[in-house]
Structure 1
Amino acid sequence: MEFKSNNPFLSNKRFSNTAVQEKVHHAEIIDYGQEMSLSGTINKTALLFMILVASAMVTWWMSFNGMNVMLPAIGGAVVGLILVVIAAFKPQYSGYLAPGYALFEGLFIGGISAIFEAMYPGIVMQAVGCTLVTFMVCLGLYKFKIVKVTERFKSVVIAATLAIATYYLISWLFSMFTSFVPVHYGNSMMSIGISVFVIIIAALNLFLDFDQIEKGVQQRMPKFMEWFGAMGLMITLVWLYIEFLRLLSKLASKD
């Protein structure tokens, strides 16, 4: 059974094609121990989270010891993005790419978190708490079928996510080469409203991640797709955390 794309990273093409290839390759001998499982995906997500936190502590420590963290933070973000792109085209290498992503993205998260914490003491714990609460609420709503991921739901969330990405890219390019100041900068009500909207869309992407992973398990995809699914979930959580940091900093700057 084929299903449409959810998370832009957890694409329909990657999951469905991988499933078909695996079925053809194991037409005679099926080793169920080598299939994607929910417990395996959960374990790998937890491992990626621990790697990311450990890596983040490095740049966090560097920042609060007077070292410049901009280079490792920016470098981590760039390398992390490259690994995500490679994994999107080569999911069979996710067992190596996913831990690498967590490692390098952690450098970025630690650096940016330290910068925000220096400006607004206590903001990091608030952002972490908001992210974890949002994750648990979304997981509960999905688990108990209170929120159902329909095709229309998927289409709306994907369209909104792509629109946000396009807006961010265009705004960044204009601000780089002109004196244009994007409306989501600053702490105006419009800027705060945009941040709230982006957080809602990021949270809705969690439902798509849960649905994609569940369907991957049902389709008995190969074992390496556990890493691929876990990586996609981590990408959404990182995005959600950063957006909470931005929103909380806007609110704090108004005081």
Structure 2
Amino acid sequence: MRSNNPVFNRNEEFNRSGAGYGQATYGDAAGYPGYAQGQPGYGDGQPAGFGAPPIQRTDRMTIDTVVQSTAITLGITILAAAATWFLTPSLENSAEAQDAVGQLTMLMLVGSGAAFLLSLVNSFKRVISPGLVIAFAVAEGVALGAISKFYDAIYGVDAEMGGIVMQAVIGTFAAFAGTLAAYKFFEIKVGQKFRTFVIAAMFGMVALSLMELVLSMFGGGLGLYDNNALGLVFAIAGLVLGVFMLILDFDFIEQGIANGLPARESWRASFGLLVSLVWIYTNLLRILAIFQQD
């Protein structure tokens, strides 16, 4: 069975017969000869099949490889965001504010545009490229740094709560930890209908966002990103969808490790996790902004 997720369905090993997405293939001899329990040559040093030695995969995807690749992509995103924040002029200084707005706007547009294009390339690329995933992390970090600085300047800093940006960061990692705990403790099983719904909803929200952007260029718009009731509903829906996307990411990692995917697929997993985390962060930032407005 093939995955409906465009981030994952380009991998042939993950979607081939006997190792399909959503199918339990622990110890599947057809998927990976030489690994099935009871098969001649499994760990006994004897020939397997027609006298051929057992196939040994030493570059398999593991929790460690996923953690390493995710730490790299997330770290690069944070560094790029911090560099954008600290290397651009201050919005609080009236003498520098005009230049700061121009620079941040340009970085936000360039970063988000590059991130969107790279996300499409990474989603539909059959063989995942670590370099393109890292490039996506850099572009995403630049865009997030610019957006975060705008929100911080507009909605100010709450000394007790640490500011809207810090609240959104803490909330994002709390959502990640809570979703992971629920996935493991409640043994959540991802079905085909759930995958279809999440992917369809994701593309639907992207399409609505692009339509809103185009309409805003002509002085119109649906108000999906305004600080009103409709904007709040849209942001909450986006936050919930981001959590659902995390569940798909966790399921991909679990199934990928079970199916013995190559280690390079850890970069696909880290890309998916980064997309979900950014999705959660931006929607949480908007929700906090709406609640903090006067």
TM-score normalised by structure 2 residue count: 0.76
CA separation in 1, counterparts of 2:228 and 2:112? 28
2:190 corresponds to 1:149: yes
1:131 is matched with which residue? 172
2:285 is matched with which residue? 245
2:205 corresponds to 1:164: yes
Q: How high is the sequence identity, in percent, across the aligned residues?
A: 30
The answer on whether the counterparts of 2:239 and 2:280 sit within 8 Å (CA) in structure 1 is yes
Residues 168-214 of structure 1, C-alpha deviations (whole Å, 9 max, x = no match)? 2222222223x323132322223212211111111111101111121
Shift of 1:111: 0.9
Structure 2 gap ranges (5+): 18-30, 35-51, 91-95, 158-162
Structure 1 gap ranges (5+): none
- Larger Rg over CA atoms: 2
Shift of 1:38: 2.0
CA separation in 2, counterparts of 1:58 and 1:29? 50
1:53 is matched with which residue? 78
CA separation in 2, counterparts of 1:81 and 1:190? 25
CA separation in 2, counterparts of 1:237 and 1:77? 15
Q: Which has the higher contact order (CA 8 A, sep 6+)?
A: 1
Shift of 1:63: 3.2
CA separation in 1, counterparts of 2:115 and 2:134? 10
Which of the two has greater helix per residue? 1
Aligned with residue 110 of structure 1, among 145, 169, 176: 145
CA separation in 2, counterparts of 1:60 and 1:137? 28
Cα 1:73–1:175, aligned 2, differ >3 Å: closer, same or farther? Answer: closer
Q: Any idea what SS the aligned residue of 2:58 has? A: helix
RMSD of equivalent CA atoms: 2.5
Count of residues in Structure 1 that have an aligned counterpart in Structure 2: 248
2:11 corresponds to 1:15: yes
CA separation in 2, counterparts of 1:124 and 1:242? 10
Residues 132-181 of structure 1, C-alpha deviations (whole Å, 9 max, x = no match)? 1111110011112353322222222222222212222222222223x323
2:77 corresponds to 1:42: no
Q: Any idea what SS the aligned residue of 1:92 has? A: coil
Cα 1:159–1:102, aligned 2, differ >3 Å: closer, same or farther? Answer: same
CA separation in 1, counterparts of 2:69 and 2:216? 38
Q: Any idea what SS the aligned residue of 1:69 has? A: helix
2:3 is matched with which residue? 4
Cα 1:249–1:3, aligned 2, differ >3 Å: closer, same or farther? Answer: same
The letter for the 1-side match of 2:266 is E
Shift of 1:248: 1.2
Cα 1:155–1:108, aligned 2, differ >3 Å: closer, same or farther? Answer: same
